[in-house]
Amino acid sequence: MSSELKALECHFTWVKDVPSSELLDMKVKLEDIGTHEGNFWLGSIYNLWGFVLYKLDSSEEALQFLRKATETLKRLREEDEGPWLVVNYGNLAWLHHHLGEEAMSQDYLSKVGALKSKFPSPSQDELHPEIYAEKAWTLMFNEEKKQLAADYFQKAFNMQPDMVQWQCSRVIALASAAKHREKYLSDDFLQEIRTAREQDPENLYVAAVELKLRNKKGESVRDEAETLGQKILLQPVSSYNGLKPLLRLYRQQRSLDEAIALIEEALQQHPDERYLKRCAALCYKWKLFSLGGVRADQRTVERAIQLHEDVIALYPDTSFAKKIDLADVQAKSSQGRMIADQMYQELLAKRDLNPGNKQLLYYSYNRYLNFECDDSNKSMEYLMMSAEIQPRNFYGRKSLQELQKIRDRGTNQMSTEIRK
């Protein structure tokens, strides 16, 4: 039985050795996607959610979510059985095994076997396209595996080209994986995303990503962006309704007042939605940092501070980055430098930070020291500390790139230390 469980294609065999901080982050992301009807991935949301809850020591709640996934998958596909249940039944087999309910576990193992016999993979060397798609969707929650997720979506879509949702998810994964690389601007990728938008015109997230890409290539998309913004406001609040990439488009266009107007209108409609407050806090932070040396009006600073404090309270388990943002926002207020200093010292004193959070903290503190405190030598020390931490995440790599530029210029007092 143990070998049968290990051979299953499900979250219990895909997601291993994940620290609790990442599990909490996954849980928050699942909550922000929302569970409104009409979401093609709703069954997958419940499925992954159940696994995450088990890993966070909530076994009974996990079982409820996995059973809800079963019901949802059957309802959405309008059939009582199909290959889309393989991953869900695999999760249930594992969960019942962990609960000591071996008969139930064996029952789900048998159900998986029956489904695989009735709906076989195209070949022995490949998974069923439904399993590739579910695996890809799961990998999208890992920042380092979004390219692999896109590849799995491509495999699934090649086998089953009528599943336009898989093609849309592929381009979303690709856009996210490549947003800091030049291939994000390639003509091939633009054509792929246009095709996805044509095949699924109701996917407003893909529409927003396409506008953002076209804007980056120099096209004028202002009118289309305004129209899309009004469409998004009519949709249920979700991290996949297209709002955030549209806000980032406004940032590209240096139209932060328009971004703020849109998010404030959304908040008027849904004042208690924490995801909207998170987006609003981001927009106000962009606004403050876009001013350079010009001091923002006090009303804008106070609104930014209040939003960041709200977000920290609403996301208690994953608020570390927002605490850094709050310190940076406080530094922009007329009386806030002392508060920002104190906040950074409290964050730097923490002893239980994971490598990713350390890189983010040291990189952010380096910028604070350099731009707010005019202490470039001390800021370099923290930039080097960030770059040294392994494995490097986005902020560690960014720190290294900035150090390489400083080294190549050779004008910094600490060039020798940086070169070493």
CATH of residue 34's domain is: 1.25.40.10
- In angstroms, the CA 69 to CA 47 distance is 5
Q: Is the peptide bond before 355 cis (omega within 30 degrees of 0)?
A: no
Give the phi and the psi of residue 406 in degrees, each rounded to 5: -65, -40
- In angstroms, the CA 366 to CA 362 distance is 6
Say which residue the tokens 């240096």 belong to. 254
Among the candidates 99, 120, 141, a domain finishes at: 120
Half-sphere exposure of 148 (CA within 13 A, CB side): 11
Q: Which residues, 6 or more positions from 221, have their beta carbon under 8 angstroms from its beta carbon?
A: 211, 214, 215, 249
- In angstroms, the CA 251 to CA 7 distance is 46
126: in domain: no
276: in domain: no
Alpha-helix runs per DSSP H in 78-127: 86-98, 102-118
Chain segment 148-157, per-residue pLDDT in tens: 999 999 999 9
182: in domain: no
* Domain encompassing residue 103: 1-120
> How big is the chain, counted in residues?
420
Angle between helices 222-233 and 256-269 (to 10 degrees): 20
- Count other C-beta atoms under 10 Å from residue 269's C-beta: 11
Among the candidates 120, 152, 186, a domain finishes at: 120
Q: What is this structure's pTM?
A: 0.94
DSSP state of 297: P
- In angstroms, the CA 369 to CA 99 distance is 51
C-alpha closest to that of 184 among 221, 213, 148, 154: 213
54: in domain: yes
Could you give the number of structural domains in the chain?
A: 2
The answer to whether the beta carbons of residues 199 and 164 sit under 8 Å apart is yes
153: in domain: no
Using CA of residue 129, residue 130, residue 135, residue 138, what is the dihedral sign? positive
302: in domain: no
**What string of pLDDT tens digits covers the 420 residues of the chain?**
899 999 999 999 999 888 899 999 999 999 999 999 889 999 999 999 999 999 999 999 999 999 999 999 999 999 999 999 999 999 999 999 999 999 999 999 999 999 999 999 988 899 999 999 999 999 999 988 999 999 999 999 999 999 999 999 999 999 988 765 655 568 888 899 999 999 999 999 999 999 999 999 999 999 999 999 999 999 999 999 999 999 999 999 999 999 999 999 999 999 999 999 999 999 999 999 999 877 888 999 999 999 999 999 999 999 999 999 999 999 998 778 899 999 999 999 999 899 999 999 999 999 999 999 999 999 999 999 999 999 999 999 999 999 999 999 888 888 888 988
CA 310 and chain centroid, separation: 20
135: in domain: no
Among the candidates 84, 105, 120, a domain finishes at: 120
CA 66 and chain centroid, separation: 22
192: in domain: no
Alpha-carbon separation of residue 103 from 1, 60, 81, 95, 313 (angstroms): 11, 17, 21, 12, 43
